[in-house]
Amino acid sequence: MNQRKPGKPVNRHLPVALPKLLLATLLLPLAACGNGAPQGGAQEDATRSAQAAVEAQIAADARAAEGEAPLPGDPDSTETLFDGLLDCQPKGWYLSAESGRPANPYLARHAPEPCERDEEFGMAYFCVKADFHGLPVERVVAHLGTAPTPIGILIDLPLDQARARARKSLGSDFPEDERSQRGERPKLGPQGDNTQKSQLMCTPDWA
């Protein structure tokens, strides 16, 4: 008598992973329905933020195309020009690589081109007529690029008079000291051999 070999048992149950997958599939729409409002709000916020960023970039590109300075500040105020000078960190005292104009808003409007360039030392001279705490400034010495070079102001006064005015208005005549040697504070000194001129200069520690 032929005996039939028992066949392999048929697994009529779903694999373990499949019910979990089906459960997750069912739960996702439910979760989306339950959290629809928060997700929608977050998406709207993200969309608005992205749109604002795009609009801000478009505005910045338009200003750059018009040659406007990117740094903040009133372009008609000398406070914008001299901000940070006493700490040897004036804002925008260099030529922008993109526009070729000074990055400082005051210089960009009132002296958009250097009146003299010193290519050897990487310095640009901007002719201005401005007052810095009683010191008549006739030139701003800035960077041609962004490399650290001596920067400062050329003053239309003899050194003794400039020192007297600086002591009165700023409380110091800015002598050479450790801070000035480190390039952290300007030094008031003669303008070369010209006894009728003086200068307030910040010199990098390597110079």
The string of pLDDT tens digits covering residues 155-165 is 999 999 999 99
| Average of per-residue pLDDT values in the chain | 78
Do 102 and 125 meet the contact criterion of CB atoms below 8 Å apart?
Answer: no
Interatomic CA distance for residues 105 and 138, integer angstroms:
18
Q: Which helix (H) or strand (E) holds 160?
A: helix 159-170
**Backbone φ/ψ region at 115: left (φ over 0), alpha (ψ -120 to 50), beta:** alpha
Across 123-135, average pLDDT: 97
Q: List Cβ neighbours of 206 (8 Å cut-off, separation of 6 or more).
A: 148
Across 82-94, average pLDDT: 96
Which tokens go with 57?
Answer: 């970039």
Q: Which residue has better confidence, 185 or 66?
A: 185
Q: What is the pLDDT of residue 204?
A: 83
Q: What is the pLDDT of residue 148?
A: 84
Torsion of CA 76, 78, 82, 83, to 10 degrees: -70
Q: What is the pLDDT of residue 98?
A: 82
Interatomic CA distance for residues 148 and 108, integer angstroms:
20
Q: Which residue has better confidence, 45 or 134?
A: 134
Q: Which of 44-53, 62-71, 125-134 has the lowest mean pLDDT?
A: 62-71
Q: What is the pLDDT of residue 16?
A: 41
Residue 178 pLDDT grade (very low, low, confident, very high; cuts 50, 70, 90): very high
